[in-house]
Chains A and B, each alone.
Chain A
Amino acid sequence: MENQTTILNLTEEEFVHPGNRACSGCGLSIVYRIGLKALGKNTILVVPPSCLTVLQGLYPVASTKLPCVNVTFASTGAAATGVRAAMRALKKENVNVVAWAGDGGTSDIGIQALSGACERGEDIIYICYDNEAYMNTGVQRSGTTPQGVITTTTPIKGKLQEKKDVPSIIAAHGIGYVATASAAYPLDFYDKVRKATTISGPRYIHVHTPCPPGWSFETRYTIKVGKLAVQTGLFDLYEIENGEFRLTGASKNLVGKARLPVTEYFKTQGRFKSLDKDIIKKVQEQVDAKWARY
């Protein structure tokens, strides 16, 4: 996919108010702000508990200018289904129904409802922002936490298991559009969300969102850290459109070129401080093997 959008022609209209409760330097804040620009006004959001619940505001003030229903943790995919069903019943067809959930709410507790919605072919966009742990509750491990990462529930040895590959699981449902993106590449994300709005059926976008407090790096490095995840080949930007896989943007530009070693990424964050040489070697080999297939 070629970038349609540049900084200069990206809309100035904002759908997120400043002065919200998101942490300083929040990767989610970047993608939420950019994603809502792509979705536009005619959108209804469905949000389970997550950092986004906090960003959205405390009653009676909302930080989002779009209609939003907060739903229970496990129910996001089904709740989005319900909004869409209501839109059909009310003949309001031109509304984007968008679920926006975290990695825990998607890969762990919410995967059943999401899988059900994908299998039924529900006409919804599901955006998972992946900060790789339960950040809102204070950095507990989730299904998408990478191996070796220190969290508050993997406090000494780091997580023993590997990261769950959620986009592949969703792609296995055979839905029309699956994409990954990164907060460090907001225009790539913007264009993917825009494209998603032009497709019907289930659409899934998995966006990597660096988290300064959860990952232990200084707030100013959110973009740098996000870019290193892509440039080391750990997190890839791609689309799977009607079953056809293609790398996009910065990942596409990496094909056939030397990638930075994964240690360049690991050393930027305190959460990797317990990584031993064996895991680093294994991860580098996995990344190399993956890229040998691209």
Chain B
Amino acid sequence: MTTRTFCNKISRSKPSPGDGGNTGSWRVLRPVINLEACIPAKRNKKACFHCWLYCPDSVVSKTIPPVINYEYCKGCGICAEECPADAISMVDESTHPVEEK
């Protein structure tokens, strides 16, 4: 009988982050959290987290304080726009040293 292995090449993908590469490089403006204004940071308890809720790319953590994953943050600015405490400002990337890969 045939010993050939059939169908050993087929388009079936495995889950992994970063399909689009380092999407942080798309960013023109960088969200920077002012911890003096950030509600969970200020109160030191779980609260607010609008930035986490509305982030399209799940790059904001639901932690005290919230932390932004700049490797993948695309810089849309929704977090800054929706922050009820105006604690997030969008800063020109060119004024920032390159930290991520």
Q: Which residues of A line the B interface, CB within 8 A?
A: 7-8, 10, 12, 14, 16-27, 29-30, 33, 56-65, 186-187, 212, 218-224
Knowing A17-B17, A19-B71 touch, does A218 contact B77 (C-beta < 8 A)? yes
Q: Which residues of B contact A33 (CB under 8 A)?
A: 56, 58
Give the residue name and chain of the A residue nearest to B75 (CB): A24
Contact in complex: B77, A220 (CB < 8 Å): yes
Does B18 reach chain A (CB closer than 8 Å)?
Answer: yes
- Greatest chain A CB density within 10 A among B26, B49, B57, B71 is at B57
Known contacts: A7-B49, A8-B46. The answer to whether A61 contacts B16 by CB under 8 A is yes
Instruction: Contact check, B81 vs A221: say whether CB atoms are below 8 A apart.
Output: yes
In chain B, residues 30-82, which have Cβ atoms closer than 8 Å to a Cβ of chain A?
46-50, 52-59, 62, 69, 71-72, 74-78, 80-82
Do A17 and B71 touch (CB < 8 A)? no
Interface residues on B, range: 35 or more
Please report the C-alpha to C-alpha distance between residue A29 and residue B46 in the assembled complex, in whole angstroms.
24
Residues of chain B within 8 A (CB-CB) of A64 are 15
Do the beta carbons of B20 and A19 come within 8 Å of each other? yes
- Out of A21, A25, A222, which one reaches B20, CB within 8 Å? A21
**Complex Cα gap A30–B60 (Å):** 13
Complex-state Cα separation, A18 to B71, whole angstroms? 9
**In the docked arrangement, what's the CA distance between A62 and B52, Å?**
22
